[in-house]
Amino acid sequence: MKRRHFLNATAAGVTASVLAACGGGGDSTDAQQALGFEQAQDAKKRPTPVLGGSAKSQVIVVGGGMAGASVAKYLSLWGDGVQVTLVERATSYTSNIMSSMVLTGQRNMGSLAYNHSTLASKYGVKVVLGDVVNIDPVGVKVTLSTGTVLSADRIVLAPGIDFDEVPGLGTSNKMPHAWQAGPQTSLLASQLAAMPSNGTVILTIPKVPYRCPPGPYERACLVADWIKARRPRGKLVVLDANLDFVTEKDNFSNAFFGLHGGVIEYVTNATVTQVDPASMQVYTTQGVYRGDVVNLIPRQKAGRLVVDAGLANATEGRFAGVNVLSYASTVAGAEKVHIIGDSSATTQPKAGHIANQEGKVCADAISRLLVGQQPDPEPVTNSACFSTITMTQASWLTAAFQYDPATLAMKVVPASSAASTGWNKDNFEDMSTWFKALMADTFA
Ligand SMILES: Cc1cc2nc3c(=O)[nH]c(=O)nc-3n(C[C@H](O)[C@H](O)[C@H](O)COP(=O)(O)OP(=O)(O)OC[C@H]3O[C@@H](n4cnc5c(N)ncnc54)[C@H](O)[C@@H]3O)c2cc1C
């Protein structure tokens, strides 16, 4: 299938479900505005992509999560002859999206598991199980923990995030973050299940930027709703290092202070300075709190590989500066290394939907660069996000971004960005449809 056709087909597939979801919330004006934008994008004159790429072209992708799987799939489709090698250290991928529902017993970990077998069988991606421990940005090589060295024409890094150490935590597993879906998610779920009926849950929110801006607030709402149903004398203390809700303020403040007001205590400007897992105490700039269950979400930075390679040159040295036309690193000499997903520093949120979109923009750009062309000068991305406000109802938020040549950044298109007014059951059902479409577009 030709790249242009496929781009339209997949964009329409995901967008249609997103817009149906938004429309399903009953707010047709917002949905129609977003639809108008998409139609405008279809009408927009994009440069006609030239399929091609030398048969000898090689691209290594490190990390097979939302960003890495997307770029590997679409590079194979659009690169026409480019051999893509995906190096991933885990045998299967567990989705972070929807993982907070494991905490309330609404989902199990198996329902969030994906693998890379379709990328190999259907798209010809060479999947290597391995841990990349070093990269050579100038020589365009990666070294695996086994000592194997792989070289290519371009490298794409998509290793997700890493966490700051929290003073006092050490190697204790008593205060899991569960912000990288996996064993910590199951652990936190079992800690909640064992909590006494009058127990206190503490959830800490790190300073921005962090993975999934609405994520901690939606988790708080979900846990608060679970407390009401299962631990009626329990309570939830949310310790937010930020000065206020960092996104979807109307819906979250109505939920925190209205719907869940009897359960949630919300403390802002509360930066965690230290913890004591033995006494389950959390020390913050706003005082000391004790919980029976502590969901400690530390401050975040790019995956270790990016930081160790000296590519984290933005956001106080936490994330990787990139040229958003191609996602090439902005570090001098590292132009053949592209960084996508949560590791990169852009004006777009650190979200799975955006990681998928960045994967496509990057795949398109590399396909062009490999045949001596320039990247598309007008990339557009979009993101939809559903937030669980109760165990059965959700709100939604959608945003579109367009390249702004004046600032060299992706800029929000206000007319195409919207949030639901309130939450309802239809949105909750639409969330599942959106999730399935996004994951199919990434892994299948
Ligand atoms: C609770 C929660 C809810 C969320 N909800 C949403 C939502 O509703 N909507 C949304 O859009 N986003 C959501 N997100 C955010 C989304 O999950 C992330 O933004 C997305 O996963 C980022 O993709 P990524 O590819 O950058 O990183 P990841 O998906 O984490 O993938 C990174 C991959 O790289 C691999 N890797 C790392 N280092 C190496 C190495 N050295 N060698 C080999 N492999 C390596 C890892 O094993 C992993 O598979 C949520 C996140 C959380 C925590």
For 333: left if phi > 0, alpha if psi spans -120 to 50, otherwise beta; the answer is left
Within 6 A (CB) of ligand 1 lie 62-68, 87-90, 93, 96-97, 99-100, 131-132, 158-160, 179, 211-212, 215, 303, 305, 341-342, 350-353, 355, 385-386
Q: Which of 94, 185, 342, 436 to mutate to test the pocket of ligand 1 (most atoms within 8 A of CB)?
A: 342
Q: Which of 91, 96, 217, 248 to mutate to test the pocket of ligand 1 (most atoms within 8 A of CB)?
A: 96
Using CA atoms, how far apart are residues 7 and 76, in angstroms rounded to an integer?
A: 13
The alpha carbon of 1 and the centre of ligand 1 are apart by a number of angstroms equal to 28
| DSSP H or E run through 66 | helix 66-78
CB 442 within 8 A of CB 115: no
Placement of tokens 């109505």 in the chain: 254
Which atom of ligand 1 is least distant from the CA of 305? 41
Using CA atoms, how far apart are residues 354 and 360, in angstroms rounded to an integer?
A: 10
| Domains in the chain, CATH or no CATH each | 3-162+301-443 (3.50.50.60), 165-298 (3.50.50.60)
Assess whether the previous peptide bond of 414 is cis (omega < 30° from 0). no
pLDDT of residue 374: 98
Residue 217 sits at the vertex; the CA angle it makes with 299 and 26, to the nearest 5 degrees, is 140
Give the global pTM.
0.90
Using CA atoms, how far apart are residues 318 and 98, in angstroms rounded to an integer?
A: 26
Using CA atoms, how far apart are residues 329 and 320, in angstroms rounded to an integer?
A: 7
Using CA atoms, how far apart are residues 155 and 168, in angstroms rounded to an integer?
A: 37
Structure tokens at 407: 């600032």
At a CB cut-off of 8 Å and minimum separation 6, what does 434 contact?
Answer: 17, 18, 21, 384, 386
Which atom of ligand 1 is least distant from the CA of 438? 11
pLDDT of residue 55: 52
Residue 239 sits at the vertex; the CA angle it makes with 233 and 241, to the nearest 5 degrees, is 170
Residue 85 sits at the vertex; the CA angle it makes with 83 and 86, to the nearest 5 degrees, is 145
- Three-class secondary structure of residue 298 per DSSP: coil
Using CA atoms, how far apart are residues 207 and 259, in angstroms rounded to an integer?
A: 25
pLDDT of residue 56: 77
Count each helix (H run) and each strand (E run) in the chain, helices first.
11, 26
pLDDT of residue 80: 80
Using CA atoms, how far apart are residues 356 and 370, in angstroms rounded to an integer?
A: 21
Structure tokens at 14: 């995901």
Using CA atoms, how far apart are residues 160 and 343, in angstroms rounded to an integer?
A: 5
Using CA atoms, how far apart are residues 83 and 54, in angstroms rounded to an integer?
A: 10
Q: Which of 74, 89, 308, 357 to mutate to test the pocket of ligand 1 (most atoms within 8 A of CB)?
A: 89
| DSSP H or E run through 204 | strand 200-205
Tell me which residue has its CA closest to atom 4 in ligand 1.
97
Q: Which residues of the chain have a pLDDT value below 70?
A: 1-55
Integer CA distances (angstroms), 387 to 150, 181, 220, 391, 423, in order: 41, 17, 11, 10, 9
Using CA atoms, how far apart are residues 345 and 167, in angstroms rounded to an integer?
A: 26
